[in-house]
Amino acid sequence: MSSLEATRYRADPSVLGVLRSPRLLTREALAGLVVGLALIPEAIAFSVIAGVDPKVGLFSSFIMAVSITFLGGRPAMITAATGAVALVVAPIAPTYGLDYLIATIILAGVFQILFALLGVAKLMRFIPRSVMVGFVNSLAILVFIAQLPHLIGVPWLVYPLVAAGILVIICMPRITKAIPAPLVSVVVITAAAVVFSLNVPTVGDQGELPRSLPELFMPQLPLNWETFTIIAPFAFAVAIVGLLESLLTAKLVDEITDTHSNKTRESWAQGVSNMLSGFFGGMGGCAVIGQTMMNVKVSGARSRVSTFLAGVFLLVLVVVLGDVVSVIPMAALVAVMIMVSVAAFDWHSIAPSTLRRMPKSETFVMVTTVLVVVLTHNLAIGVVVGVLVASVLFVRRVAHFVSVERTVTSAFGVETAHYFVTGELFFASSNDLTTLFSYGEDPERIVIDMSQAHVWDASTVAALDAITTKYSHRGKRVELLGMDDAATSLHKRLSGGFGAEN
C-alpha cells in the first residue's frame, strides 16, 4: 500500500489514541456493551432460522466480531451472524446436517477471499446514490419489521415498557451524552421489570444461552465432488450476499463518519472471518446493519475498540452472566432497535420539497429498491434490482442524446451530403443510427463527420458498417471523418467483421 493510500485509510481515532484517552475509551466500551446486548436475541433468532442450536449463532457473532477487529477495513462496523446469511443457508442443516452447514460457511469464506483478489470491491463505484438511499431506507424498515414479532400477541405491559424505553433514549442525550442512551434505557427497563416482577418476554425466552467457550470444530463429511456440488451453490450465495451487505454498510458508515475505508481489505477480511466462524462451529455472517448503526450513529463509536468489545461483551454476557442477561425484557431491546430504525431512515429523501426537486427516475429507483428489499427481506436482491433499473433508465436517457444533422453542398459541379453526428454512440443509441440517413436522396458522395461523437462499442462499428454497405449497394461512396484515435483504432480492428448488412 502506498503512503497516500495509508493516509487515506488511516483510522481516526486510532486504537492507540482511544486507549490513551479515558473519555474515548469509555465511549467505545459502552457502545460495545450496548451492541453486545443487542446481538444476543438476534443471533438466537438467526440460529432458529438456520435450524441450528442458539449457540451456533452466538459463537458465530463472537468469532466474527472479534476477528474482524484485526482484519477488517472499516473501523466501528459490526460483523456477526445475520438474517440474510441465515436465510440462504436455512435448507442445509435440516436436510444435510450441521457438518454440511459449517463446510458451506468455510467455502463461502474462500469464495469471498477470491472475490477480493479479483477486485470485486471496486464494483461499488457503480452503485448509484438513489440505490444507496433505497438501501438505507429499506434497512431501516427491515430493522423495524424485525421487531414486530415482539410486539404482536404479547402481554399489554410490553407496550408501556417499549414506550418508556423510547422516551429514555430520546431524553437521555439532553441530560448527558457521557453514557449511551440505549444502555441507560436497557438498564432502566430491566430494573423496572425486575423490581415490579413484570411478566413479560425476556431474552432467556428466546433460547438457551451457552455455558462454555467455543471449541475448534472440524466438519466430518466426505471430501469429494458430490459434497462440493451440494455446498457450492449455497456457499456462493452466502459469499455474494455477505459481501454486498458488508460493502454497502461500510460505504454507509464512510458517509456518516466522513472517512474512507479499504473495501478490498474488508472483502477478504469478511472471508477470513467466515472461515474462522466455521472452524469454531459458527453459522457465518456479514456486517450487521442495525447494530452498526447503533454503534456508529446512536452511540457515537468510531474505532475498532468498540467492535472488539462488542464481541467480548457478547461472550461474557452469554457465558458468564447468562442468568443476568436472560432476565432482560425483550421490550428494552425492541425500544433500542426501533430508535435505530428511526435514526437510520433518510427522512430527507421523502420530504415533499426533495421529491419535487429530484428527477422522477431517481425517486423511482429509490422506491423500487425499497419495495424489492421489503418484499424479499433480502438487501442484496434489492440492491441488484435497483442497480439494474438505474442502468436501464440511464441507458434510455443517454440513448436519446444522439443527433444527426444533414446538409448538401455543391462544389465544382459535385454534390456532397454532409452528416454531422453528435453524442455518445453505444449499443442503445447506435441501433437507430442507420435510420437517420437519406440513402435514396443523397448524391454519390457522402461525408460523415464524427468529430462530435464518441464510439464506445462494437455495436456502433457494426452500425457504421451497415450505413457504408447500404450506400455502396446504391453505388455511393462514404467517407468517415473526425474520429478520435481510440474510435479510429476500434473501427479499424472491427470494421468488416460483422457480415453483410442490407
Confirm whether 215 is domain-assigned: yes
- The number of domains in the chain is 2
Confirm whether 148 is domain-assigned: yes
Does one domain contain both 409 and 343? no
Does one domain contain both 109 and 180? yes
Residue ending a domain, among 332, 347, 362, is: 347
Write down the pLDDT at residue 501: 47
The CATH code of the domain that includes 468 is 3.30.750.24
Other C-beta atoms lying within 10 Å of the C-beta of residue 97:
14
Q: Report the DSSP pairing between strands 445-455 and 414-425.
A: parallel
Residue ending a domain, among 310, 327, 347, is: 347
Does one domain contain both 318 and 448? no
Confirm whether 431 is domain-assigned: yes
Please, where are the H alpha helices in 280-378? Answer: 289-293, 304-319, 322-325, 330-344, 352-357, 360-376
Q: Are 364 and 393 in contact (CB under 8 A)?
A: yes
Confirm whether 310 is domain-assigned: yes
Confirm whether 22 is domain-assigned: no
Does one domain contain both 244 and 315? yes
Q: Is 300 left (phi over 0), alpha (psi -120 to 50) or beta?
A: left
Q: How far apart are the first and last CA of the chain?
A: 55
| Alpha carbon distance 284, 278 (integer Å) | 7
| Alpha carbon distance 302, 14 (integer Å) | 9
pLDDT tens-digit readout, 237-279: 899 888 988 988 998 899 888 888 899 999 999 999 999 999 9
Reading the block at residue 173, the C-alpha cell is 442525550
Does one domain contain both 266 and 415? no
Average pLDDT, the chain: 87
Residue 394: burial class (beta carbons within 10 Å; 0-12, 13-18, 19+) = middle
Q: Is 475 left (phi over 0), alpha (psi -120 to 50) or beta?
A: left
| Alpha carbon distance 18, 223 (integer Å) | 46
Confirm whether 490 is domain-assigned: yes
Q: What is the pLDDT along the chain (502 residues), one digit of tens a residue?
A: 555 555 566 767 888 999 999 999 999 999 999 899 888 877 887 887 787 888 898 999 999 999 999 998 899 999 999 877 887 888 898 889 999 999 999 999 999 999 999 988 887 777 888 988 898 888 788 878 888 888 999 999 999 999 999 999 899 888 877 777 888 888 899 999 999 999 999 888 877 778 888 888 889 899 899 999 999 999 998 998 889 889 889 988 998 888 888 999 999 999 999 999 999 999 999 998 888 988 998 888 999 999 999 999 999 988 888 888 889 898 988 888 888 788 878 899 999 998 888 888 899 999 999 999 889 877 778 888 999 999 888 877 776 678 899 999 988 778 999 999 998 888 877 877 888 899 989 999 999 999 888 888 888 888 888 899 999 999 999 999 988 887 788 778 877 655 544 4
Confirm whether 391 is domain-assigned: no
Does one domain contain both 335 and 431? no
Residue ending a domain, among 307, 327, 347, is: 347
Q: DSSP code of 329?
A: B
Confirm whether 56 is domain-assigned: yes
Does one domain contain both 133 and 234? yes
Q: Which domain holds residue 430?
A: 403-494
